[in-house]
Amino acid sequence: MARRNSIARILLLLVLVAGAAAWWASQRYAGFADRPIAGLEQGGSLVLAPGDSFATMLRKLHEAGAVGGHDTEWRLLARETGAAGRLQVGEYALAAGTTPRQLLERMRDGKVIARRVTIVEGWNLRELRAALAKAEPLLHASKDMDDAALMRAIGHPGVHPEGRFLPETYQYVRGDSDLDVLKRAYDAMDKALDAAWAARAPDLPLKSKDEALVLASIVEKETGIAEERDEIAGVFVRRLKIGMRLQTDPTVIYGMGTRYAGNIRKADLLADTPYNTYTRDGLPPTPISMPGKAALQAATHPAGGDALYFVAVGDGSGRHVFTRSLADHQDAVREYLRNYRAQRKAERQ
């Protein structure tokens, strides 16, 4: 009898020990899964490459500074979250405060770090390519390509690249190249231009959507004031209708290319190039910048009125004075010069 009681006590003790051990293990596991990973710093990341195993992921995690957690706990959590065998390739944020559960769920769902690059309204292709060349970790596949090769690479051989990429902010992930961004920007511009052209105002002196793109690119360079875009487009449209030259400085500057040093001289206005709208009739042969959606809208829906001229106010606001006659325009130019000189004088004092 005493022997049976002793065995019972031993069995009870073993059950209690096993229960305590199981409770301790469950508490430890729960604490591991939902407690922030120690050792991570803001800005860190982990890159999963094709073929990386779960063990490789854990090794990279520890190399990135993570401490704590046994491999067994990570594997149990991977099975619990459905991440086992389903980790997706990409770059993942290792921000301070990230828990093991959050990290594995992101890897399971492919929630990789998304970076952004912005194409600015009014940029030309040279400026766009320079900006993409600085974007990291974007792959620079177009580095040694000329413009024609670049257009072939994105699937549009023979198309002049200027003005063909819509100014917007584009996301990319590690492994993407500048060509991927340019393809998306080209498609976005194509879609925006198609929409603007399809809804265009009647009686425009434009033969095609490509001419609308050229006009929009000029409007984009002529003003940074949103509410003036359709007025400026209206001036150019009226000039085109009556056969009057556009006489717009941004086209001259574009034609000068890298020779432009911040100032236009009289000789530059007289020097004939395909883009000099002081010496040539009509629109230039290609766009001169990347116009945004607002400029596309202005070019296809110009404001009415009778103004044929505009000149900057000269007060630093960026606004313009619109006039109908050459005499009124010349008065406005003189007022601009007075305002400009007064502003420069005030700046020097």
Q: What is the pLDDT of residue 35?
A: 93
Sign of CA dihedral 119, 122, 126, 131: negative
What band does 5 get if pLDDT is binned at 50, 70 and 90? low
Q: What is the pLDDT of residue 13?
A: 55
Return the H-helix or E-strand segment holding 45.
strand 45-48
- Is pTM beyond 0.85? Reply is no
Q: How big is the CA angle at 28 (ends 22 and 29), to the nearest 5 degrees? A: 90
- Of the two residues 261 and 162, the one the predictor is more confident about is 162
pLDDT digit string (tens) for 14-70?
554 444 444 444 545 567 999 999 998 888 899 999 999 999 999 999 999 998 888
- Omega of the bond prior to 287 within 30 degrees of 0, cis? no
Domain residue extents for the chain: 32-109, 115-193, 213-348
Residues in the chain: 349
pLDDT digit string (tens) for 146-198?
999 999 999 999 999 999 999 999 999 999 999 999 999 999 999 999 999 99
The contacts of residue 221 (CB under 8 Å, 6+ apart) are: 122, 250, 288, 289
CB atoms within 10 A of CB 131: 15
What band does 10 get if pLDDT is binned at 50, 70 and 90? low
Tokens representing residue 344 in the block? 């420069």
